[in-house]
């Protein structure tokens, strides 16, 4: 039986982890025309305007028992009105305590679980050994961004989102930084660093299938974490799928909580 991901007394680390996640979720939307952010004391909702649930989220639920059903209904009603897919993220600090039961009663079902992981960056080891022909650089130009999008692949809406975000992502001081790994000049892998909540969030770690099994994802994860350490950040966090947990554990990340993504059945 699956137990709740909500924790009655989450630690300061978990609060920082969620603050980083929610800052990351809403960052591009806050500064991009035609994107929507609802940010209240009870709930955070973001809508990219694109038909993809990766960038349409409901999260940071901080609802009282008496108001929860009303806020849930308003948030679900919004996405029904715009007719776009979305995901509702529940984490250790979510409230009300019976939120998952309430979402299930509204027709949502658990679609994916991820493991929250964290580490002290003073314990970050030296860079993993990757292929000798691997080079990694931060996305700084539109050409670099196109290379990252080529690795993301898949739905065209992913490329559309990052192209809309280009005016933000290409600023040197942007708290969201993308990195691309190249094998013999060919884009092969990505990672993303987001600074917020006093910690470094590592996101969007991915490697094209034909380049997997070479520790490239480990190098890209290390690159993002190492960059944060050089800037004086002391802790890093991430959310790991089942496939990625071993990679992150070898770099020093340790499990600290779970998240669940709910979607309409």
Q: Which of 41, 42, 39, 13 lies closest to 25 in space, CA to CA?
A: 39
Whole-structure pTM value: 0.95
Helices (H), the chain: 12-30, 68-82, 99-105, 142-152, 156-169, 216-230, 245-251
265: pLDDT confidence band, cut at 50, 70 and 90?
A: confident
Location of each CATH 3.40.630.30 domain in the chain = 121-257
Residue 3 is predicted with a pLDDT of 82
Per residue in 118-137, pLDDT (tens digit) is: 999 999 999 999 999 999 99
Contact between 248 and 160 (Cβ < 8 Å)? no
Residues 204-224, mean pLDDT to the nearest whole number:
96
Per residue in 140-160, pLDDT (tens digit) is: 999 999 999 999 987 899 999
pLDDT > 90? residue 35: yes
Residue 2 is predicted with a pLDDT of 60
CATH architecture of the domain covering 121-257: 3-Layer(aba) Sandwich (3.40)
pLDDT > 80? residue 1: no
Residue 154 is predicted with a pLDDT of 75
Per residue in 145-201, pLDDT (tens digit) is: 999 999 998 789 999 999 999 999 999 999 999 999 999 999 999 999 999 999 999
Residues 10-28, mean pLDDT to the nearest whole number:
97
Task: For the chain, give percent helix, strand, coil, nearest 5.
Answer: 35, 30, 35
């Amino acid at each position: 039986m699956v137990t709740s991901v909500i924790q009655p007394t989450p630690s300061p680390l978990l609060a920082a982890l969620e603050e980083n996640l929610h800052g990351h979720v809403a960052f591009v939307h806050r500064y991009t025309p035609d994107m929507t952010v609802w940010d209240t004391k009870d709930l955070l909702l973001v809508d990219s305007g694109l038909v993809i649930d990766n960038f349409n989220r409901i999260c940071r639920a901080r609802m009282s028992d008496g108001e929860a059903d009303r806020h849930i209904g308003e948030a679900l009603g919004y996405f029904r009105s715009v007719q776009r897919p979305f995901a509702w993220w529940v984490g250790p600090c979510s409230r009300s305590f019976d939120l998952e039961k309430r979402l299930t009663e509204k027709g949502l079902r658990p679609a994916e679980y991820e493991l929250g992981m964290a580490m002290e960056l003073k314990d970050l080891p030296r860079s993993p050994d990757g292929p000798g022909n691997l080079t990694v650089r931060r996305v700084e130009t539109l050409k670099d961004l196109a290379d990252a999008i080529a690795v993301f692949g898949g739905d065209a809406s992913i490329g559309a989102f990052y192209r809309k975000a280009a005016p933000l992502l290409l600023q040197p001081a942007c708290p969201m930084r993308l990195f691309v790994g190249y094998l013999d000049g060919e884009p092969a892998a990505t990672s993303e660093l987001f600074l917020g909540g006093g910690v470094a969030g590592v996101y969007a770690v991915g490697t094209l299938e034909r380049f997997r099994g070479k520790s490239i994802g480990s190098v890209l994860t290390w690159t993002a974490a190492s960059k944060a350490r050089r800037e004086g950040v002391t802790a890093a966090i991430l959310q790991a799928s089942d496939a990625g947990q071993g990679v992150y554990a070898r770099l020093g990340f340790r499990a600290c909580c779970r998240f669940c993504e709910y979607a309409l059945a």
